[in-house]
Amino acid sequence: MDYKGLTTKGWFYKEKFTFLLVILILYSIAAPFFIDFVHAELFAKIFFIIILLSAVFAVSSKKRDLILMLILSGLRIALFCYTLFVSSENPLLVSIILDTIFNICLIFIIGGYFYRHDSVSRNTISAALICYILLVLVWADLYFLVELKFPNSFTIAGEVIKASPAILNYFSFVTITTLGYGDISPVSAQARQLAVLEAFVGQMYVAILIARLVAIHTAQASAKKEN
């Protein structure tokens, strides 16, 4: 069996962030279309595990980062297996907290990779886009925690949110892009403050990202002229 693609010089390793980005986008696009299928929940959970493993592989270049993400993903998968047999709000709460910590760690690790590199490639652009998507997921988890702590924090029923937490991913995407359809709105002071903060962070991220890309492009252009 050929393992060259998984080595530090292999194409798969070099495009690890691109692969993770594709997986995240596919899941985001495909999940709603499978919601009415008999095995939709199983499909979502299998895809979730694939995302976890892809994320671990994406940060595998540094031993410290790899160990941290292995521990977090291991805890998350163990909790996932536990929830297959036990239905309770406590495992749900712990899983949301673990997801939040996992995604925040990924943002710092992958974001650090992007800002350390002085050249623009498909992989570095993918890293930047992954961080943007992860910001959305972090805020979606925070919204869910707010709903658990302060019921009826949104204009949709809490039972609907608990039955389909992915609806908060949609709300988070709409908020971070400042699109604001208005079909879901924050009601409680806590949810409103989170929404304001997400919109601010989202706009700042895009501005900083563009500034960074312009700086890298300018540096590359200057280097070419000197050569």
Tokens representing 76?
Answer: 């998350």
Quickly count: other Cβ atoms within 10 Å of residue 153's Cβ: 23
171 phi, psi to nearest 5 deg: -60, -40
Q: Report the chain (227 residues): mean pLDDT per 10 consecutive residues.
A: 47 79 83 64 74 85 88 84 66 84 92 82 88 94 93 87 84 91 90 95 92 81 70
Q: Please state, in angstroms and rounded to a whole number, the distance separating the CA atoms of residues 172 and 195.
A: 8
Q: Please state, in angstroms and rounded to a whole number, the distance separating the CA atoms of residues 43 and 45.
A: 6
Q: Please state, in angstroms and rounded to a whole number, the distance separating the CA atoms of residues 175 and 172.
A: 5
Q: Where are the domains of the chain?
A: 4-226
Tokens representing 169?
Answer: 């991913």
Tokens representing 211?
Answer: 């500034």
Q: What single letter denotes the amino acid at residue 141?
A: D
Q: Please state, in angstroms and rounded to a whole number, the distance separating the CA atoms of residues 103 and 99.
A: 6
Name the pTM for this structure.
Answer: 0.85
154 phi, psi to nearest 5 deg: -130, 165
In the prediction, which pLDDT does 220 show? 74
Expressed in angstroms, the distance from the first to the final Cα of the chain is: 43
In the prediction, which pLDDT does 165 show? 80
Q: What single letter denotes the amino acid at residue 21?
A: L
Tokens representing 10?
Answer: 């292999």
* 8, 61 contact by CB (below 8 A): yes
CATH number of 4-226: 1.10.287.70
In the prediction, which pLDDT does 41 show? 64
